[in-house]
Chain A
């Protein structure tokens, strides 16, 4: 677990060494939304150019898609 200042430090180091500042965030389901915004905001502060939200659990998505197929 990182504090926001520690996250800032890690992201700056990672972006500098990779030459790319795209970040993917996978929030825990129970995470309070305001905390997610804090993390996104911290990532922007650290220089993230693009931030993507990802989900590794495709089940809900698959169900939703299946419901909408003719």
Chain B
């Protein structure tokens, strides 16, 4: 690191320790909002945003319906444990692909949180929230 150049051994290290924050709160994930070409016809009405990133690569799509029901690649899954099991059974895809959460704009956060937690505990490396670009903001 540039900070250590020319610094004697044992010198001060200018790094911030963020561990105490993680101890107090469970960080579910660092989130990204994305739009993706696959979302030209989303399976549920997505929320709109002005500042989503664009994602063009392959994704593993997790759909959260307004009533909290979840489908992955067309398979309906009963609860968050089933979601975690499904993702864990496809560990290589779960770890290598962007998990794209396509949640209905009207779903209560508690239903989304269960799915996010399931994604995190099953080893997902990257999770993004699907949004549509708000009309007139592009």
Contact = CB atoms under 8 A, between A and B. Distances in A.
B103 interface: yes
A45 to B, nearest CB: 6
Contacts of B49: 37-38, 40-41
B33 A53 contact: no
Given A37-B131, A40-B31, 14 more contacts: A27-B109, A31-B109, A33-B105, A36-B109, A37-B49, A45-B50, A52-B29, A52-B31, A54-B28, A58-B26, A64-B117, A64-B118, A65-B121, A68-B88
Given A33-B47, A41-B49, A65-B121, A55 B108 contact: no
Contacts of B30: 50-52
A28 interface: yes
Contact of B106 (A29, A33, A55): A33
Interface of B: 21, 24-31, 33, 47-51, 80-81, 84, 88, 103-110, 112-114, 116-118, 121, 129, 131
Contact of A37 (B25, B29, B84, B129): B129
Nearest to B107: A33
Contact of A34 (B47, B84, B118): B47
A31 B129 contact: no
B25 A28 contact: no
A14 to B, nearest CB: 15
B108 A31 contact: yes
A24 B50 contact: no
A58 B21 CA distance: 15
Given A41-B51, A45-B51, A54-B25, A61 B117 contact: yes
A53 to B, nearest CB: 4
